[in-house]
Amino acid sequence: MGNWQELTDPASALYGFAPDAVLFCFDARHLTRGMNAALSVAEADRQHDAAREEVLACWRLAKERFRCAVLHQTAMQLLPAVMGNNEHRLAGSPRHALRALNAELRAAADAEGVDILALDERAAQEGYAAWHDPALWMRSKQEITPLAAPVYGDLVVRLLASRQGLSRKCLVLDLDNTIWGGVVGDDGMEGLILGQGNALGEGFAAVQSYAKELSRRGVILAVCSKNDEANAWEPFDRHPEMILQRSDVACFMANWRDKAANLRDIAADLNIGLDSLVFLDDNPAEREAVRRELPMVAVPEPPEDPALVPYCLADAGYFEGVALTDEDRGRTREYQSNRARAELAASSTDMVGYWRSLEMQMLWRPFDRIGLQRVVQLINKTNQFNLTTKRYSEDEVLAVMADPSAFGLQLRLLDKFGDNGTIAIVIGKMQQDEVFLGTWLMSCRVLGRQVEAATLKLVVENARRMGARRLIGEYRLSSKNGMVKNHYEKLGFTTLSVSETGDSKAMLELHEYEPRDVYMEINEG
């Protein structure tokens, strides 16, 4: 450590590369250089602080110079113990220093907006022998043995993918012999193997517990089972050992159709892509059929013993997440409110009557520190209703906040069924006498609620306040955002240009803008 030329020298290859993300991999031996068992507590503390500060300095340098995502790999605990079990009592122990540094850097990472690659935990789980070969370190200075490289690559990529909003969003569960033992239609609810007092039953309960934990942090749960619907619900309502409840399931498909068709309906019902689904089923024939029909759905090969299934799901990293927002915590409830709304829509004879009956309120605010995490999350995970799919790091969002010629709007929608949370984001930038809309995105949960028209109202107000004469909206075609191809035209914009690749620009003269009726209150807050 000590020489950070790549980070500081504008002529370095790293500058030329202009990275989107920088991953810091400090190896255990360099990180603990200067530590030794003879050090006093004060000397050890000093060494220790210096190592930590050097890492922090690197993070900050990378953030400042590249405005990019910074990732930090925790150090593997691979140095031999000098004391033994109570190593922590030896202030200068390099092994103890690694543990303490990892803990401190985890805490610091949250404060600095850095994401952690938990190499220490992964290696500990699989055993250090599988990750590090001391002889190979002497020979080649490769800390991670090449035999572990494929798994290591997967860990890095899943973290990067998560930052891009590419993690899976929904776990779809089969029922019979997947979340309980036995077949409810044949064995009856009383015949199911589930819960305490039976090792196999505890295994199935563990599967349910893990699914419940996932849902508590924002993964959507759905059910896809070949069953009569009433039979399939019965354990949820009446079996005393069930951990999953009716209210944990956002979409329930129990019928006799083929599973691929049901998975398509689940994705459509939840307004997410099929590539956001993970399908857990004990039946190899069903798994094979789904893989063939829907290759974009992740279908793990679950171990036969249910006790091992939670580890299989966790190790695959399908649901890798980097931040947790209030929206994540309330997600299942939200989808259920959506169902209630859909039922209301189906029973309403006219749309205006439906919109009125929802008692909607839109709350808007400029970007601010409080909403920062959710704004970054929404920008980076919204794929469908996203006009340009331009991604922003936290620092880039902060730059929008600091730019007097730009505005960023975060919109929240409430209705009588609940709070949908922050559901739309627009970023505009004044250029001469026009406001250029480089980002406009919305959560698909609130499609068909007039949020687009209400958002435009706010955009126009902001643009007028800045003295603009017109709005320019940009659309950049991606593999997922075909649904908003004519978004601006639908709102009354005139097409300016369409490129060969399907990208387009549209314009709205502000003096020609006529607000549409929207059936919601719009307030700042």
Residues near other proteins (CB under 8 A): 135-136, 138-140, 142, 146-147
Q: Which is nearer to other proteins, 40 or 142 (CB)?
A: 142
Q: What angle do CA 453, 505, 162 make, to 5 degrees?
A: 75
Q: Residue 447 is encoded by which pair of tokens?
A: 């499609």
Contact present, 380 and 425 (Cβ < 8 Å): no
Closest distance of CB 268 from other proteins, Å: 47
The phi and psi torsions of 461 (rounded to 5 degrees) equal -55, -45
Start-to-end CA span in the chain (Å) = 48
Q: Which is nearer to other proteins, 80 or 240 (CB)?
A: 80
Contact present, 120 and 75 (Cβ < 8 Å): yes
Closest distance of CB 133 from other proteins, Å: 9
Rounded to whole angstroms, how far apart are CA atoms 101 and 114? Answer: 15
Whole-Å CA distances, 207 to 10, 25, 178, 180, 314? 52, 34, 8, 9, 11
Instruction: Fill in the DSSP letter of residue 466.
Output: T
Q: Which is nearer to other proteins, 136 or 308 (CB)?
A: 136
Q: Which is nearer to other proteins, 25 or 136 (CB)?
A: 136
Q: Which is nearer to other proteins, 140 or 245 (CB)?
A: 140
Q: Which is nearer to other proteins, 139 or 292 (CB)?
A: 139
Q: Which is nearer to other proteins, 133 or 415 (CB)?
A: 133
Strands (E), 181-240: 220-226
Closest distance of CB 136 from other proteins, Å: 7
Rounded to whole angstroms, how far apart are CA atoms 488 and 508? Answer: 9
Residues in the chain: 525
Closest distance of CB 134 from other proteins, Å: 9
Closest distance of CB 135 from other proteins, Å: 5
Closest distance of CB 30 from other proteins, Å: 20
421, containing H or E segment: strand 418-431
Closest distance of CB 146 from other proteins, Å: 6
**CB half-sphere exposure, 410, CA atoms < 13 A:** 22
